[in-house]
Chain A
Amino acid sequence: MFDIVSFFPRAVMQGIPLLYGSTGEILTEKSGNLNLGIPGIMYVGAISGVIGAFLYEQSAAGRPLSAFPAIAIPMLCSLLGSLLMGLLYCFLTVTLRANQNVTGLAMTTFGVGFGNFFGGSLIKLTGSEVPSVALSATSSFFRTSLPFAESAGWFGQMFLSYGFLAYLAILIALFSSHVLNRTRIGLYLRSVGESPATADAAGINVVKYKYFATCIGSMIAGLGGLYYVMDYACGVWSNDAFGDRGWLAIALVIFTIWRPSVSILASILFGGLYILYLYIPTGMDLAVKELYKMLPYVITLIVLIIVSLRKKRENQPPASLGLSYFREER
């Protein structure tokens, strides 16, 4: 029998990093920047948080940690790390008008390398005596769930059992959706992504919108990395454990047709598909499980094709996606 009560929370926990990543990438893409550096940025967000927490735990030297700095320090470090990556991307693609695909791929190479390098060498570099990077003390603050989750039975397990970053992800997605569709800022942002020349002629500061959208998007995506390592992985960093979730987040952007609010449910669906192979009774046939792991990508591909076949205008990618803008061109 399929155990939905145990399956659903695991799907959600798989989905939250994807939700952060896709919300961040949607904001970025709405400004016309196709940031393929998101997988790298999520690694940087995660490792920056880990470095912050590691240094804090080291400085506490065995004394009990207090809740506020234990949460604030890793979060600020994570936000700062991914902000710097976002600024780098903007500087190269917006100010220097470099090719977005190449810049993004270079950022992913750099970011994944950065994460794995510091994750693997943190102990050696700081000369500390712990055997591995396990930040269980800090992680326990991130994992604190609502007080009445335990007593609420299956409802508590399915909806109340998550750390605060999971609820924050949903709030950020709803808020982004509101800003994009219901405010003037969102309207301007979308116009920058559709036709920067028109937006520029209408007096909108294209460069400013691109910088802000991309940097805020990067910071949101970086939080996804932080959630993964601090909550899902219980504060234990292992190299390459984050895997290809960053690319899956980019897939999710297409799957949701650039809508952060849809992404909330879609990310849980993707999270579920990501671990579905664990729940499907295939007997001893391990090979078939590998095919189940293909599902999220196949489904995204089908959505991409259907969207382009139907040609509905509101479902298309932002028209200037992937192109740099130079006012004096043409």
Chain B
Amino acid sequence: MLSRFHISKRSSLSPQKAWLIRGGAILLALVICGIITTITTGLNPLDVYATIFQGAFGTARKSWVTWQNVSVLLGISLAVTPAFKMRFWNIGAEGQVLIGCLASAACMILFGDKLPNGLLILVMLLASLFAGGLWGFLPAFFNARWNTNETLFTLMMNYIATQLVAYYIIVWEVPKGSGKIGIINQNSQMGWLPQLAGQQYLLSILIVAILTGAMYIYLQYSKHGYEIAVVGESRRTASYAGIKVDRVIIRTMTLSGAVCGLMGLLLVSGINHTMTTTIVGGRGFTAVMVSWLAKFNPIAMIFTSLLLVFLDRGAGEISSVFSLNRSFADILTGIILFFIIGSEFFINYEIHLTNSAETEGERHV
């Protein structure tokens, strides 16, 4: 062997260069995706991208759905971010959103004809925040007190939430025996979030936009945000510095869960007006990747969530045009993710080529 690689950690890399590397990885991944699509469909590569764009932004209706999907994914990603910044591996966003959905649907069904609409929405808000918060609090409490593995704990909580939802769907099913809830309060529209300017999704999009700004300020400029960052770097350092690590963990995770619960409210009462066990549709997991790809920066998350939704909608269009399976989108998403994940290496490390004699020398030192 003439030469060997030597890998060392980069001391620092300017953010511009880092984003350049990531952009390059995304571009490369898009090219690969184009090639794969061409092979499976026989479409010429330029048409592939045109079709993807058509699928996401082809008509006003499609654009609204795209932005609505972005807002949901972005909202859940914002929710999981504080915990991740603390290196708390919460993969239970799916369950936290779902339990928020359940809480707001329960209020809509149980109090739909008992409370005035404004009060009902307030009750729903409190219930979904509480339910999501509880789902975040439990793993955090056990992790802070007894160091219970949070990844596995939150994973189990997802399925407990799913089965609870499945249980209540059958309890509340309309009509009996259908296994579905149907549109809740279809005639009275009680508990539905109001429409702004005649656009059904506008309010949800605005709420998430405000949430993005708020989360950015919370993480960057508040004392809590600072404590989260320190605990994330090192729990030990944080506790030497007088930060009550247990409290920060529990507080942050409860916040994460509560924001997830809020997204559940938006899904049920703002967007779908019904509840199914698959209403979150894996976005609790995708949010983990969105947040991580954006390096936990809420502003950058707008772009990463847009990228993933854009691809998903576009690949959906390709599969419906060519009567292929809908899962084509997941394959393309997977490929893009692998490239971005791989590109992080070149941001964090640099590779030197050394000849073998030098390397041998180093080894004996």
Give the interface of A toward B (CB within 8 A).
Answer: 34, 36, 88, 91-92, 96-99, 101-103, 105-117, 119-121, 124-125, 239, 244, 247, 250-251, 254, 286-288, 290-291, 293-294, 297-298, 300-301, 304-305, 308-309, 311, 317, 321-322, 326, 328-329
Q: How far is the CA of A293 from the CA of B169 in the complex (A)?
A: 14
Q: Interface digits, B318-357 against A, CB 8 Å rule (1 contact, 0 not)?
A: 0000011111111101110110011011001100000000
Q: How far is the CA of A121 from the CA of B36 in the complex (A)?
A: 14
In the complex, whether B166 has a CB less than 8 A from a CB of chain A is: yes
Q: Interface digits, B222-262 against A, CB 8 Å rule (1 contact, 0 not)?
A: 00000000000000000000000000000000000000000
Q: How far is the CA of A92 from the CA of B166 in the complex (A)?
A: 37
Interchain nearest-CB distance for B252 vs A (Å) = 17
Chain B residue numbers with a CB within 8 Å of A311 are 146
Is the CB–CB distance between A105 and B334 below 8 Å? Answer: no
Smallest CB gap from A34: residue in B: B151
Is the CB–CB distance between A116 and B330 below 8 Å? Answer: yes
Instruction: Tell which of A96, A111, A120, A291 touches B342, judged by Cβ atoms closer than 8 Å.
Output: A96
Can you list 25 A-B contacts (CB < 8 A)? A34-B151, A36-B91, A92-B342, A96-B342, A102-B289, A102-B292, A105-B91, A109-B330, A110-B334, A113-B333, A117-B325, A117-B331, A121-B325, A124-B323, A250-B152, A254-B149, A254-B152, A290-B166, A301-B156, A304-B148, A304-B156, A305-B146, A308-B147, A311-B146, A322-B151
Q: A102-B292, A317-B149 are in contact. Are A301 and B157 (CB under 8 A)?
A: yes
In the complex, whether B9 has a CB less than 8 A from a CB of chain A is: yes
Is the CB–CB distance between B328 and A113 below 8 Å? Answer: yes
Is the CB–CB distance between A125 and B40 below 8 Å? Answer: yes
Smallest CB gap from B167: residue in A: A290
Q: How far is the CA of A121 from the CA of B146 in the complex (A)?
A: 48
Besides A113-B330, A251-B155, 4 other A-B contacts (C-beta < 8 A): A99-B292, A109-B282, A114-B330, A301-B156
Q: A92-B342, A294-B163 are in contact. Are A308 and B148 (CB under 8 A)?
A: yes
Chain B residue numbers with a CB within 8 Å of A297 are 156, 159-160, 163
Q: How far is the CA of A88 from the CA of B292 in the complex (A)?
A: 19
Dominant SS among interface residues on chain A: helix
Instruction: Tell me which residues from 108 to 165 in chain B have a Cβ below 8 Å from any Cβ of chain A.
Output: 142, 146-149, 151-153, 155-157, 159-160, 163-164
Q: How far is the CA of A263 from the CA of B146 in the complex (A)?
A: 25
Chain A residue numbers with a CB within 8 Å of B91 are 36, 101, 105
Interchain nearest-CB distance for B69 vs A (Å) = 16
Q: A254-B152, A298-B160, A322-B151 are in contact. Are A239 and B288 (CB under 8 A)?
A: no
Chain B residue numbers with a CB within 8 Å of A125 are 40
Q: How far is the CA of A33 from the CA of B48 in the complex (A)?
A: 37
Interchain nearest-CB distance for B106 vs A (Å) = 14
Interchain nearest-CB distance for A250 vs B (Å) = 7
Chain B residue numbers with a CB within 8 Å of A291 are 163, 167
Q: A109-B337, A114-B331 are in contact. Are A294 and B159 (CB under 8 A)?
A: yes
Instruction: Tell which of B9, B325, B328 touches A328, judged by Cβ atoms closer than 8 Å.
Output: B9
In the complex, whether B89 has a CB less than 8 A from a CB of chain A is: yes
Instruction: Tell me which residues from 165 to 183 in chain B have a Cβ below 8 Å from any Cβ of chain A.
Output: 166-168, 170-171
Chain B residue numbers with a CB within 8 Å of A294 are 159-160, 163-164
Dominant SS among interface residues on chain B: helix
Is the CB–CB distance between B342 and A101 below 8 Å? Answer: no
Smallest CB gap from A101: residue in B: B89
Is the CB–CB distance between A287 and B167 below 8 Å? Answer: yes
Q: A102-B289, A294-B159 are in contact. Are A120 and B325 (CB under 8 A)?
A: yes
Q: A36-B91, A297-B156, A305-B142 are in contact. Are A110 and B324 (CB under 8 A)?
A: no
Q: How far is the CA of A132 from the CA of B335 in the complex (A)?
A: 28
Q: 7 closest pairs, A vs B, by CB? A: A113-B330, A110-B334, A120-B325, A116-B327, A96-B345, A294-B163, A106-B337
Interchain nearest-CB distance for A218 vs B (Å) = 15
Is the CB–CB distance between A304 and B149 below 8 Å? Answer: yes
Q: A92-B342, A308-B146 are in contact. Are A101 and B151 (CB under 8 A)?
A: yes
Q: How far is the CA of A244 from the CA of B40 in the complex (A)?
A: 28
Interchain nearest-CB distance for A297 vs B (Å) = 4
Is the CB–CB distance between A329 and B342 below 8 Å? Answer: no
Q: How far is the CA of A34 from the CA of B166 in the complex (A)?
A: 29
Smallest CB gap from B344: residue in A: A98
Q: How far is the CA of A297 from the CA of B92 in the complex (A)?
A: 13
Chain B residue numbers with a CB within 8 Å of A108 are 285
Is the CB–CB distance between B149 and A112 below 8 Å? Answer: no
Q: How far is the CA of A169 from the CA of B180 in the complex (A)?
A: 38
Instruction: Tell which of B152, B167, B292, B334 touches A113, judged by Cβ atoms closer than 8 Å.
Output: B334
Chain A residue numbers with a CB within 8 Å of B328 are 113, 117, 121
Instruction: Tell which of B89, B286, B292, B344 touches A322, judged by Cβ atoms closer than 8 Å.
Output: B89
Chain A residue numbers with a CB within 8 Å of B148 are 304-305, 308
Q: How far is the CA of A124 from the CA of B324 in the complex (A)?
A: 8
Smallest CB gap from B277: residue in A: A290
Chain A residue numbers with a CB within 8 Å of B11 are none
Q: How far is the CA of A291 from the CA of B333 in the complex (A)?
A: 34
